[in-house]
Amino acid sequence: MKNKRSLRFLAVLGVFSLIVAACGDGGVEFEAGELGAVTVEAGEAIQIRSLNAISGEVAFLGIPNQRAVEMAIADYGQIQGHDVSMGTGLDDLCSPEGGQQAAQTIVSDEQVVGVIGTSCSGAAEGAMPLIADAGLVMISASNTSPSLTSDLEGTAGTSYFEGYYRTAHNDLFQGQAAANFVYNNLNLTKVALIHDGDPYTNGLTTAFENAFVELGGEIVIHTAVAREQTDMVPVLTEVAGFGPELIFMPIFPAEATFIVQQAGGVSGLEDVEWMGADGISVENFMNLPESENMYFSGPDTQFASNTNESTDLSGEQFLADYESEFAEAPSADFWGHAYDATTMLLEAIEEVGVVDGDVLHIDRLALREALTAVTGYSGLIGEISCDEFGDCGSSVISIFQHNNLADHQASKANILYTYPES
């Protein structure tokens, strides 16, 4: 009986001392805002995460982004004496489920300050509710769906969450650019649109439709294929029945490959022009002989002469560094956006971080405010200024024609149209 009593007393004492230790203060003046704060102890690294499509058919899109994040962290160096770490690169699977799963992993670690990602707009729609709820920030290098930010006229997009930013363009620009090109430069008035249900592809075809109809063109059919669909002959037959002059299919490589390979067998499509977007201006699709002479719209990537103000790295040097470290050129076009997104985040962390001896406090709300306030930041992609809904990217879109199966970089330099027209 006596043993039990003293044991219980010791237990209570132990718990009490634990509570005191946890609530212990270091006599600091820092007070966290309403979203809380991250405390980086002495010797610990500041934690950010990379969330991109790094596996499967769309790995071509995500791997360059993740590598650009690694390079940016290495180039930026320490913040207030703390290293920056991105941990293991996470996979967004280019789907809402993948984004949500990865987001759950991220928010379960309370030390994570921000995320660079996702690759695909659909994944961002799955991830953002969790990320916004946990107070983190996410800066995307390649999401372009308007639903994630706004309609550029003051109304928030249907999937807009606070804490979301992107250095990639809003697809309303790309839709307008593509429509201008087709109507004014190619002088075609009948266009068929094919998307795949994803927010990015559907957002882009809708943006194109609105812009094209306003110019005076006609959308003969606006249809979709399913992801992982393999038999495209029925949908191509249907499209051919409407007699389009051009087919705009801003979809992903797997479905696009099946479409162009099977289009040869469908009568009525012999003289049709084909156009895709940044989802398929990637190596494995551009290697197909059937993709020759296709038009591709996408963000302008002539960054050779731009310089990132945080690391003093020019676009040209980035490509040289990338090539020497990874033995290949970037396989997709958003490397500059990913690099700038990372340096932008690190700059903001440095700005709002409160130093207290060896410890660094990062207030989450202050970080969001700092990112929203970014204006005139010089990055590899040009000048970056964020609006209230997180659209920070430059809106320069260029359209090229694929005329060199062997040298894709040469094709990408074969630019036929740039938006905004100067």
Partner 1 sequence: MSTEVAPEVAKTRRFKFNWVDSFLWFVRVAAIIAITIGVVGSFQNFAAGEGPSAVAWRDLIISSISTGSMYGLIALGYSMVYGVLGFINFAHGEVFMSGTMVGLISATILFRSGFWDSNPFISIFVVLIVAMITSTLVAIVIERVAYRPLRGAPRLIPLITSIGVSFFVQYTFAGLFGVALRNYPPAPPQLAQTISIFGLPISGTRALVIAVAIISMIGLWYFVTKTKTGSAMRAVAEDKEIAGLMGIDVDKTIVTTFAVGGAMAGVAGLMWALLFRGVDFLTGFLPGIKAFTAAVLGGIGNLPGAMLGGVILGLFEGVGPLLVLGGLGIPGVSQLKDAVAFAALVLVLIFRPTGLLGERLGSEDRV
Residues that bind partner 1 in the complex, under the rule CB under 8 A: 55-57, 59, 197, 221-226, 228, 230-231, 233-235, 237-238, 240-242, 253-254, 257-258, 261-262, 264-268, 289
Token readout for 327 is 């033995």
Nearer to partner 1, 155 or 230 (CB): 230
C-alpha angle 409/340/297, rounded to 5°? 40
For residue 150, the Cα-to-chain-centroid distance in whole angstroms is 15
Nearer to partner 1, 205 or 297 (CB): 205
- Output the smallest distance, CB 246 to partner 1, in A: 17
- Burial of 151: CB neighbours in 10 Å, binned 0-12, 13-18, 19+: middle
- Output the smallest distance, CB 288 to partner 1, in A: 8
- Output the smallest distance, CB 307 to partner 1, in A: 35
- Output the smallest distance, CB 297 to partner 1, in A: 22
C-alpha angle 364/369/372, rounded to 5°? 125
Nearer to partner 1, 261 or 409 (CB): 261
Nearer to partner 1, 99 or 157 (CB): 99
Nearer to partner 1, 43 or 289 (CB): 289
Counts of helices then strands in the chain (DSSP H, E): 13, 20
Q: Convert 264-306 into a string of H (helix), E (strand) and C (coil).
A: CCCCCCCCCEEEECCCCCCHHHHCCHHHCCCEEEEECCCCCCC
* Residue 51 near residue 326, CB atoms below 8 Å: no
Nearer to partner 1, 38 or 260 (CB): 260
Alpha-carbon distance 39 to 46, whole Å? 9
- Output the smallest distance, CB 208 to partner 1, in A: 15
- Output the smallest distance, CB 22 to partner 1, in A: 44
Alpha-carbon distance 331 to 285, whole Å? 11
For residue 202, the Cα-to-chain-centroid distance in whole angstroms is 16
- Output the smallest distance, CB 352 to partner 1, in A: 40
Nearer to partner 1, 96 or 253 (CB): 253
